[in-house]
Structure 1
Amino acid sequence: MSITAEAVPDPLRKGPNPVLGGQRTRFQHAMIYVFVGGPMLALVAAVPLAWGWGVGWHDLALLAGFYTLAVLGITVGFHRHFTHKSFKAKPWLRVLLAITGSLAVQGNVFNWVADHRRHHAFSDKEGDPHSPWAFGTSPAAVAKGFLHAHMGWFFDRNETNHSRFIPDLLADRALRGVARTFGLWVAVSLLLPAVIGGLVTWSWQGALTGFFWGGLVRLAVSNHVTWSINSICHMVGRRPFRSRDRSRNFWPLAVLSMGESWHNLHHADPTCARHGVLPGQIDVSARVIWLFERAGWASDVRWPTPGRLAKLASR
């Protein structure tokens, strides 16, 4: 059965506070294709290039380093801090998290957080921007839903209403500055690996391979890992906790996603700072938040408690 307006009241209808805001400009929409398509082509080319010419240690170091920095900017910053307020951060750390999240090139902090808060408000129902169950449960509908949830939704020109979903962030002057300069952080994300690669090897070839591996290939990998949380983690895996949607845990992505693929607990208790709460569940993002807390940079961290987890556990 597909999700229909008859089954669930349509939150997209025009009203005094609609879910949808404006639309991206044509230039902004074109850039979506560039920054999604370009890295994907690089990822396809990566295998034959590595097989034919090899890949240097500095290229792999740049890929791993910038991947870790940008993905933690998304998971710790955009997601657990800005979207769900799982912890409070010092003002300078808030700005740093907004900048490092921007390095993932998945949209500025305002757009990312607005979309994700909307996802939680309507998870797997009408209004969810990327539910894989939006078209039904037949094999064709599930395939279409998977593609939509994984990356198809990213090409929708409609933007989520900022005034409804992120009024707290809009009031933050420092975050407005980071959002306005998003283009600068995109340039840094792509060009800094090239600069470092060139300096390490002292060659233009090193700059080119640094741009390719540390910039384009890294973006493609981080994009697909993030998108897999939207698609795979609402379709495949275990559900040890009760949630109002179809969120699931998918352990193979735990390390690459920095703990985000323990998705079932997250939807059962969205403000919890740790998603991997069961024995053996690695959650790198939670460890980073713990380090911030120990350093005195983070406070009011919403750690899970045994009583809370017992209430959420599936019967």
Structure 2
Amino acid sequence: MPFIDNVLQEPSYGWRTPTGDLVVPTHRQLFQEALRRVNILTTRKNWIPAISWLMILCLLPFAIIAFTRYFSFSLLGIGILYGMVIMSTHATIWFHRYGTHKAYTFSHPIWRFITQNLVLKTFPEEIYVVSHHVHHAKSDQPGDPYNARGGLLYCLLSDVNHQPIAKNLSETDYGRVAGFLAHTGIRINSYADYLRWGSVGSPLYTVGLWLMNWGFWYTVFFLIGGPGLACALFTGALFWFVIVRAFNYTGHGKGEEQHVDGVDFDRRNLSINQWRPGLFAGEWHNNHHLYPSSARAGFLPFQLDLAWVYIYGLYKVGMVSSYRDSKPDFIKRYVTAADSQPRV
């Protein structure tokens, strides 16, 4: 079996039917699997999916306080802006273009650390990065961890049901999986520790960085605007942390072909370019599938790419040492070539 097929922990209902089709589990099966995956009393190896849900529970009190004690429309707007634009753009910059695809390199680890912690910490890197490699290898096919053909709930619960790494990797395969994350600077478990904890990331490092990150940002927000602002921005982070799980469902046409001529050029999968993720986070998803290792995904004139603005800005001041930009190739292949075709 190919390496990429063994990377993720297969859910109890499986990836594919005996005939090779996608298994579409019932809602009951999805929730049962999720509850099994976050139960650390069964095995400590469930700690990574459990921490994903724990973060949501820890953010909820901030949302309750924000709405019951400090609510105002201005704070609501600031919270939405933080979640929809700043958190979303950071995810594209850090998890997507750097963590998964190594589309650019930092000139010094300090700039990497700052970028990693530029917003409130949410997903552990391995939950996003490893599964995203599988997603690109198996887009919209059985084994894609957030396959839109599986339905909305299939995608919403993917961080616990489908994205954690397998717990029985050989030492060689574990080394390859750990290699997906070596450049991110996280503390990586030895193979012996992986067998104990079932994860690439060290639990002490992961939890410690999470607590320090939240403590730092709460202090900063509090000093700027008091507890009202701090709670509003933590609520914005919660909003993003929940809705981002639905992105691959909508970003892959809700499991149906919704490509638009002249906008979506990659027809090998169901990915589409959407206005909101594109303008708010530089997530022009069909462009990204066409050129996954590009630090820029906004190729057409109307495709604002805030993530690229950040990356290129760091490059201009020397914090990023190199990057890959596929826009010239895109223009040559899909714009110039189309313009040169004879018209009848």
3-state SS of paired residue (1:124): coil
Name the residue aligned to 1:191.
215
Give the whole-Å Cα distance in 2 for the aligned partners of 1:74 and 1:85.
14
Q: Which moved more, 1:245-254 or 1:184-193?
A: 184-193
Match of 1:167 in 2: 179
Q: Does 1:87 align with 2:109?
A: no
Distance, in Å, in 2 between the alignment partners of 1:60 and 1:192 is: 22
Where does structure 2 lack aligned partners over 5 or more consecutive residues? 1-14, 24-42, 167-173, 190-200, 339-344
**% identical aligned pairs:** 20
RMSD: 3.8
- 1:70–1:54: structure 2 CA closer, same or farther, 3 Å change rule? closer
What is residue 36 of structure 1 aligned with on the other side?
Answer: 56
Unaligned runs of 5+ in 1: 11-22, 135-144
Q: 1:26-83 CA deviation, whole Å, 9 max, x = no partner?
A: 444433323235546865x589548xx5338678657756876654442112211221
Measured after TM superposition, the shift of residue 293 of structure 1 is 1.7
Q: Residue 289 of structure 1 aligns to a residue in which SS?
A: helix
Output the CA distance in 1 between the equivalents of 2:259 and 2:306: 20
TM alignment of 1:3-152, pairs within 5 A: 4=17, 6-7=19-20, 25-37=45-57, 39=59, 49=68, 54-55=71-72, 64=81, 70-92=87-109, 93-100=111-118, 103-107=120-124, 109-134=125-150, 145-149=151-155, 151-152=156-157
* Pairwise CA distance, 1:211: 4.4
CA contact (8 A) 2:83 2:239 kept: no
C-alpha contact 1:85 1:271 (8 A) present in aligned 2: yes
Residue 71 of structure 1 contacts residue 104 of structure 1 at CA under 8 Å; is this kept in 2?
A: no
Q: What TM-score, normalized by structure 1, do the two folds share?
A: 0.71
Change (3 A) 1:84 1:27: closer
Aligned residues of 1:238 and 1:250 also touching (Cα < 8 A): no
**1:304 corresponds to which residue?**
326
Q: Is the 8 A contact 1:24 1:157 kept in 2?
A: no
Structure 1 pair 147–72 and aligned structure 2 pair: CA distance change class (3 A): same
TM-score normalised by the chain length of structure 2: 0.66
Aligned mate of 1:234, from 242, 249, 252: 252
Q: Match for residue 19 of structure 1?
A: none
Contact 1:3/1:133 (<8 A) preserved = no
The C-alpha deviation readout for 1:179-209, integer Å capped at 9, x for no partner, is 54222332244333432354446xxxx33x3
Q: Within 1, Cα distance between the matches of 2:259 and 2:108? A: 38
- Is residue 276 from structure 1 mapped to residue 298 from structure 2 by the alignment? yes
1:140 maps to what in 2?
Answer: none
Q: Deviations over 1:62-110 (max 9, x none)?
A: 7756876654442112211221121222132233333447x33112x23
Deviation at 1:7, TM superposition (A): 3.3
Q: 2:158 aligns with which of 153, 165, 183?
A: 153
Query: Could you say if the C-alpha distance between residues 72 and 90 of structure 1 is closer, same or farther in structure 2, counting changes exceeding 3 Å?
Result: farther
Measure how far apart 1:308 and its partner are: 3.5
CA distance in 1, matches of 2:84, 2:217: 11
Distance across 2 between alignment mates of 1:9 and 1:58 = 43
Letter of the aligned partner of 1:259 in structure 2? Answer: G
| Aligned-residue offset at 1:269 | 1.3
* Partner amino acid, structure 2, of 1:169: L
- Which one-letter code corresponds to 1:95 in the other structure? F
Q: How many residues align?
A: 277
Distance 1:224 1:232, change over 3 A: farther
Aligned in 2, Cα 1:192/1:5: closer, same or farther, shift over 3 Å?
Answer: farther
Instruction: State the alpha-carbon separation in 1 of the partners of residues 212 and 84 from structure 2.
Output: 14
